């Protein structure tokens, strides 16, 4: 029995699963936390803390010395800047840092608008993407930018510490803003404008191989020196891989943030910016939309109302958009939470149910945008729900009544780490990591039948988000949001 380790270095913590490479059984797990700091839109973490957390999580498994291969899945888009000795020059700016919203707007206009970006790069700049954060750094901390020898993503940083080489994959690279999913290469026009050289960026490995564990890393982590390191990928691509889903199967992940995505065989071009045309962890594509405000935002609303998170009404006439931290989908980085339609008779439970619907609506519109652009999502295809929110009855009901789709609730958890483990297993067997994940059957679990669509709720949500789109003067896709 060969054992492999899959790593999920997320915003809040590092999780490690030690997996039997033959059948996908998890034989050990470990976890360690991170801190996130920042105010006024800043969200930052110390990259060295991710490395320390990885050591703690591996030690907690008690099986690190038995692992035959390892791979990393990690939060996308974060910016890690290193000096010529590989040491962080500052705290990493994370995906949910919104300080670079002005730079995102400026980058979009620099190249003639959203159409150029969608066609040439595969995404339209928003504050989440790494390119905007680098532009922010050059403007606000030029000395740090000038001292940067290596610019990488969180998963690339851990690869560098593990294998001694800066390696990434096309899935994670596609979320930077300087890698084209269409052309499968770094985009020289963007790099030149940003003052970046390819030598400062990780090499994109398409064979899934990221090197071998160095003796220094082995000593620090309790691993065996020389075992293979998979190229790794970003968290959403790793989750899709962990599920082993076929193209055309919609997925919604409900965590601190929410994502809606689907594996497709063709690249997506969406000038509205609702969808980012990411690559997946292999040779396919992963059009995706991410909402900053998801389970944490709804939980915050429940706390404000003095309710348990499941204390929701059966119906509501209220529209709640719980955008406490600004929002990425739709692209309103300076938005705040809002309530529309309150009366003297409105109950707290009705407001909380409205918050679920409002948070879910961003993800529903994104799924329907994927269908509009690809035609790959049959109306009766089950919607796979993953993440912590998928365990919540109210979340399931919200996605059910807004989509009318049956729901699939995989029993497997830690899908990002499982996807990374599939990449690690592929280093031993030479198989496709998707084939390995499909054999592991992570999608097995509860099935929830389709329910009737709440057309009134959809109409209210569409009306309010259209009005906000007009007030913000942005995001044509949301001005035409489906009713």
Distance CA(243)–CA(438), nearest Å, equals 7
Q: State the helix-helix crossing angle for 130-140 and 101-110, rounded to 10 degrees.
A: 110
Cα 248 → chain centroid:
18
Give the number of other CB atoms < 10 A from CB of residue 483. Answer: 11
DSSP 391: G
Residues 6+ away with beta carbon under 8 Å from 184: 170, 279
Residue 235 annotated in active site? yes
**Bridging pattern class, strands 445-448 and 26-33:** unpaired
The token duo for 66 is 């038995």
- Output the CA–CA distances (angstroms, integers) from residue 107 to 110, 305, 315, 418, in the order listed: 5, 40, 43, 36
Strand partners, 33: 13
Of 130, 207, 215, 194, the C-alpha closest to 168 is 207
In three-state secondary structure terms, 190 is: helix
Give the number of other CB atoms < 10 A from CB of residue 472. Answer: 16
The token duo for 64 is 């690190």
Distance CA(91)–CA(133), nearest Å, equals 12
Of 343, 322, 328, 345, the C-alpha closest to 398 is 322
Distance CA(139)–CA(128), nearest Å, equals 17
Q: Which residue in the list 97, 169, 235, 325 is annotated as catalytic?
A: 235
Sign of CA dihedral 12, 78, 150, 30: positive
The token duo for 258 is 């929410």
> Which region holds residue 466: left if phi is over 0, alpha if psi is between -120 and 50, else beta?
alpha
Active site residues: 235
């Amino acid at each position: 029995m060969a054992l492999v380790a899959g790593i999920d270095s997320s915003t809040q913590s590092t999780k490690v699963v030690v997996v039997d490479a033959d059948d996908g059984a998890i034989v050990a797990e470990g976890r360690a936390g991170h801190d996130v700091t920042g105010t006024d839109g800043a969200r930052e973490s110390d990259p060295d803390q991710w490395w320390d957390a990885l050591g703690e999580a591996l030690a907690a498994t008690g099986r690190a010395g038995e692992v035959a291969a390892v791979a990393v899945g990690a939060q996308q888009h974060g910016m890690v800047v290193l000096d010529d000795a590989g040491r962080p020059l500052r705290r990493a700016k994370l995906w949910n840092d919104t300080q670079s919203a002005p730079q995102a707007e400026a980058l979009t206009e620099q190249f003639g608008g959203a159409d150029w970006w969608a066609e040439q790069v595969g995404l339209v700049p928003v504050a989440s993407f790494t390119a905007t954060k680098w532009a922010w750094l050059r403007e606000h901390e030029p000395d740090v930018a000038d001292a940067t020898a290596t610019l990488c993503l969180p998963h690339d940083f851990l690869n560098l510490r593990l294998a001694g080489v800066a390696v990434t994959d096309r899935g994670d690279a596609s979320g930077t803003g300087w890698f084209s999913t269409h052309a499968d290469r770094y985009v020289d026009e963007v790099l030149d404008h940003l003052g970046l050289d390819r030598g400062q960026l990780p090499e994109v490995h398409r064979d899934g191989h990221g090197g071998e564990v160095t003796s220094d890393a082995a000593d620090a982590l309790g691993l065996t020196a020389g075992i293979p390191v998979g190229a790794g990928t970003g968290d959403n691509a790793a989750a899709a891989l962990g599920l082993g889903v076929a193209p055309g199967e919609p997925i919604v992940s409900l965590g601190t943030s929410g994502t809606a995505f689907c594996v497709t065989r063709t690249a997506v071009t969406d000038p509205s910016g609702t969808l980012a045309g990411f690559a997946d962890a292999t040779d396919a594509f992963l059009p995706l939309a991410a909402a900053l405000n998801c389970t944490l935002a709804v939980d915050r609303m429940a706390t404000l109302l003095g309710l348990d998170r499941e204390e929701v009404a059966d119906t509501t006439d209220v529209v709640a958009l719980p955008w406490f931290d600004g929002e990425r989908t739709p692209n309103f980085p300076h938005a705040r939470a809002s309530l529309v339609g309150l009366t003297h008779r409105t109950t707290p439970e009705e407001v909380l149910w409205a918050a679920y619907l409002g948070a879910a609506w961003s993800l529903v519109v994104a799924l329907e945008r994927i269908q509009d652009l690809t035609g790959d999502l049959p109306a009766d295809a089950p919607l796979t729900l993953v993440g912590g929110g998928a365990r919540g009855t109210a979340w399931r009901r919200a996605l059910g009544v807004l989509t009318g789709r049956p729901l699939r609730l995989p029993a497997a958890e830690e899908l990002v780490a499982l996807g990374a483990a599939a990449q690690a297993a592929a280093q031993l067997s030479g198989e496709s990591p998707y084939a390995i994940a499909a054999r592991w059957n992570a999608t097995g679990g509860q099935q929830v039948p389709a329910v009737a669509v709440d057309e009134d709720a959809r109409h209210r949500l569409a009306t309010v988000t259209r009005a906000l789109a007009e007030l913000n003067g942005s995001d044509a896709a949301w001005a035409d949001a489906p009713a």
